[in-house]
Amino acid sequence: EAAVTQSPRNKVAVTGGKVTLSCNQTNNHNNMYWYRQDTGHGLRLIHYSYGAGSTEKGDIPDGYKASRPSQENFSLILELATPSQTSVYFCASGGTKNTLYFGAGTRLSVL
Amino acid sequence: QQKVQQSPESLIVPEGGMASLNCTSSDRNVDYFWWYRQHSGKSPKMLMSIFSNGEKEEGRFTVHLNKASLHTSLHIRDSQPSDSALYLCAASGSNYNVLYFGSGTKLTVEP
């Protein structure tokens, strides 16, 4: 099965601090995605990428940056973390017929 | 406003019963639908996809799609306690590479 690995799995950050969430996929998929999941909102798309060097804005990009330095790696960066960014973040890669393969998730708490 | 709406928010069915979940898009550009299942504390995994009008069956799971009304439904027959999970509907439209998710239906199958 397709493999997507996220790190860290849990993170506690301070308000105003910088947070970087990392994602690595070994599937050689072109497309990668960052979603956040909050109760009552399902999965909301933050940023996505079509390949190395490409980043695109999703539905809720404000306060987030993304970086895709290689086919395998896709990072989500919170330059100035706020408590409203406390959430569970999922990275995914897109396979055949755009089936998404999700990582295990990162639980982020911003205090 | 979310592009994908799911109902009901939660559903309880007895073991062996039929579970029926609904999903509608408010975006006329939507063309493709997926159903994902997420067990508690885990990441979402694709259950079924449907791209054409009609019905698709895989084991105990059946998906219907009516493109004219932008409505899809998932039916689970002979429900098992292991089917208890959050079921997420996803859709994409003019940009096939971008999936939008609904808020989900929480299914509980009681023994």
Q: Mapping DSSP to helix (H, G, I), strand (E, B) and coil, where does residue B82 land?
A: helix
pLDDT exceeds 80 at position B60: yes
Mean pLDDT score of chain B = 93
Range in A90-94, B8-12, B28-32 with the lowest mean pLDDT: B28-32
pLDDT of the residue at A96:
78
pLDDT band for B55, please (50, 70, 90 cuts).
very high
Range in A42-51, B71-80, B93-102 with the lowest mean pLDDT: B93-102
Q: Looking at beta carbons, which residues of chain A come within 8 Å of B35?
A: none
pLDDT of the residue at A88:
97
Q: Looking at beta carbons, which residues of chain A come within 8 Å of B104?
A: 42
pLDDT band for A40, please (50, 70, 90 cuts).
confident
Please tell me the distance in Å from B46's CA to the nearest CA on chain A: 7
pLDDT exceeds 80 at position A56: yes
Mean pLDDT score of chain A = 95
Q: Is A58 on the interface with B (CB under 8 A)?
A: yes
**Residue B75 CB neighbour total at 10 angstroms:** 16
Q: Is B61 on the interface with A (CB under 8 A)?
A: no
What residue of B is the nearest CA neighbor of A98? B97
Q: Is A97 on the interface with B (CB under 8 A)?
A: yes
pLDDT exceeds 90 at position A34: yes
Interchain contact, A42 vs B2, CB within 8 Å: yes
